[in-house]
Amino acid sequence: MNPARPHERPTVLDRMLTPVHRWIWSDAGRRVEKLFRFGETETDGGRDILRAAEVTSDALLRRLYLEHAIDEFRHGVLFRHRAAVLLKTSPSVVNNGFQGNWLAPGGHGLDDLQVDGESDSDMLAFLHLSEKAAASRFTVYRDVMQHDPPTRNIFEEILHDETFHMNYTLTQLARVEPERHRRHLWRARLSRLWKAYLRLATGLAGILGSILLTIQYFVLLPPFAWMAKRAGKRDPSGWTIVPPERSDSLDRQY
């Protein structure tokens, strides 16, 4: 960690997962895929913040959101360019296997952002926590990227911006809501926690559903297949003569 920027301190969880992140980023193919995905996340986040600039009635926030959106678009371009360079130098590296996206997600979690209908204070609290999460993860990603200096430099450059975003959103939240800014932060924290729980529960439900369907396939279906086969053997093969009382009319469907 750079002692000149002590706020770039990864969370305990991100620090604990450092060996996992090192392993995830060590594969060149996975690196390309993840950089492309990060590029998309940054650009999408930039688009949402641009919308936030449109809907806010606070002139200072509008200017800051515009600068913020431009930063996020630039991050998207930086990630995509780096991925393209890596792909050009080793076109065979594309990896369609394990990506570890839930372990090493894109920075922000800005995909949860609902711009319309949010107050300035809620928006700032959400952005502050998202940027803080991004700064924490990008610090770890930068630190595990010793084997790829150009990518490491990109994380370093982006981290600088994310730290600025994290700080300005907190300063502005304190300006907009001097009395209740802590309450807004806690509400945003709980909302993030709830969304994380929902994501985890959805993932778990998917895994449990696959296990149950597999069990059903191998345990419940075989007896039915066996009974169908046995019933099939009892059916006469070939054409059979239909009794005259059942074949008297061809003027209706049944």
Q: Which is nearer to Fe ion, 162 or 177 (CB)?
A: 162
165: contact with Fe ion by CB under 5 A: yes
Instruction: Quote the DSSP letter at residue 253.
Output: -
75: contact with Fe ion by CB under 5 A: yes
- Which residues in the 120-159 window bind Fe ion by CB under 5 A? 131
Q: Which is nearer to Fe ion, 72 or 177 (CB)?
A: 72
CB of 131 to Fe ion, least distance (A): 5
Q: Which amino acid is at 6?
A: P
Total chain residues near Fe ion (CB under 5 A): 6
Which H or E element spans position 228? helix 221-234
User: How far is the first Cα of the chain from the last one, in angstroms, to the nearest whole number?
Assistant: 79
- Which residues in the 181-240 window bind Fe ion by CB under 5 A? none
CB of 165 to Fe ion, least distance (A): 4
Backbone torsions φ then ψ of 119, nearest 5 degrees = -80, 165
Q: What number of other Cβ atoms are within 10 A of residue 111's Cβ?
A: 14
Contact window for Fe ion (CB under 5 A) among 8-16, 22-30, 64-72, 97-105 = 64-72
Q: Which of 33, 120, 162, 177 binds Fe ion (CB under 5 A)?
A: 162
Which H or E element spans position 179? none
At 133, list the tokens: 């999460």
Nearest to 115 by CA among 107, 128, 106, 124: 124
Q: Which is nearer to Fe ion, 42 or 120 (CB)?
A: 42
Rounded distance between C-alpha atoms, residue 115 and residue 193, angstroms: 19
- The residue ranges that bind Fe ion (CB under 5 A) are 42, 72, 75, 131, 162, 165
